[in-house]
Amino acid sequence: MRGIPRAVRAIIAVLMVVIALSVVISATSGDRAGLTLPEKILRSIFSPIGNFFWNIGRGASDFFGGLFRLGSIMDENRRLKEEVEALKSNVAQISGLEAENARLSGLLDLKKQFKGKTVAAKVVYRDFGNWLGTVVIDRGSADGIKPGMAVINSLGIVGRVVASTSGTASILLANDPRNAIGAVTVRSRDFAIAEGVGDGTGVLRLKPFGAAPDIKPGDLVVSSGLGGVYPAGHIIGEVVDVDEGAYGMAKVAYVRSAVDFSRVEEVLVLVDSQKGNLK
């Protein structure tokens, strides 16, 4: 034991003495009712030492057990977070499907109201160089779609077809300045032309034909059927402002479109424009 440090040798010696005494006490105790004086002295000396080491062992066990439980809790927490994120994703998908189903149901109801042929389509592309001017749909000449046809949705007039390929068609939106719609106010029956302002706000400029039109904010404006593109009776929007001319004459009015052009997703193309009036 020359290579073992003196302190370590002392500890080993103490442990050996403790073990030896424990063996002796155990062997001589038998079934006696009491302990001898030497046994009492030894027990009083070594019992605290035994308790000390037992408490250390119990503390170490509790410590490592706590670490194990903490690791398990962290794993469970991580798993629960993943499940919550998965549920959020599912809820978002379900909400999106419900919204799409509602739009398609509205489009189907609208389709049933027309006498002539219509084609339902989905917007698949936007012209980012002219964000609110042109969109592309996933139906084209193979479905009978041609330039000049009116395009609507459940809210109102969307625009008109300006170009088509076999499987796609380009739609010029109603808020584009290049678009002009024959219009009439429902209340006063003032005929006018509605054209896009071009500022991306969804507001159209309404230019009445009459010398003294009776147009007021809140008036509902629909297509008049004049011009041959848009059949009569489709909603354009609501008058939000009137620019009074000389002697109180309304020179121009501004209409907020019923359609949110930035959110158009599904549309209905009126293939038979002459039969595109509501039943």
Dihedral angle over CA of 21, 24, 30, 35, nearest 10 = -40
Is position 236 within any domain?
yes
91 vs 139, residue with greater confidence: 139
Residue 9 lies in a domain: no
Residue 88 domain-assigned? no
- pLDDT(23) > 70: no
Q: Rounded distance, CA 274 to CA 278, Å?
A: 11
- Whole-model pTM: value is 0.62
Q: Is residue 184 part of a domain?
A: yes
Tracing tokens 């991306």 back to the chain, one arrives at 200
> Is the residue at 130 inside a domain?
yes
Instruction: Give the confidence band of 197 by pLDDT, cuts at 50, 70, 90.
Output: confident
The answer to the question of residue 266 being in a domain is yes
- Do the domain assignments include residue 3? no
More confident residue, 49 or 220: 220
The helix-helix angle for 6-29 and 37-111 (nearest 10°) equals: 100
List the domain range (segments joined by +) for residue 139.
117-279
Q: Using 50, 70 and 90 to split pLDDT, how confident is the model at 198? A: confident
pLDDT greater than 90 at residue 171: yes
When pLDDT is averaged across residues 86-103 and rounded to a whole number, the result is 65
For residue range 212-246, what is the model confidence (pLDDT) as tens digits? Answer: 789 999 999 999 999 889 999 999 999 999 987 66
| Positive/negative CA dihedral, 127, 132, 133, 138 | positive
- Residues above pLDDT 70, as percent of the chain: 60
Distance CA(179)–CA(172), nearest Å, equals 7
Instruction: Establish if 147 belongs to a structural domain.
Output: yes
- Which among 129, 100, 135 is positioned nearest to 262, based on CA atoms? 135
In terms of Cβ atoms closer than 10 Å to its own Cβ (0-12, 13-18, 19+), residue 137 is buried
Q: How many domains are there within the chain?
A: 1
Token readout for 198 is 């071009």
Q: Any idea what the CATH number is for the domain that residue 222 is in? A: 2.40.10.340
- pLDDT band at 193; cut points 50, 70, 90: very high
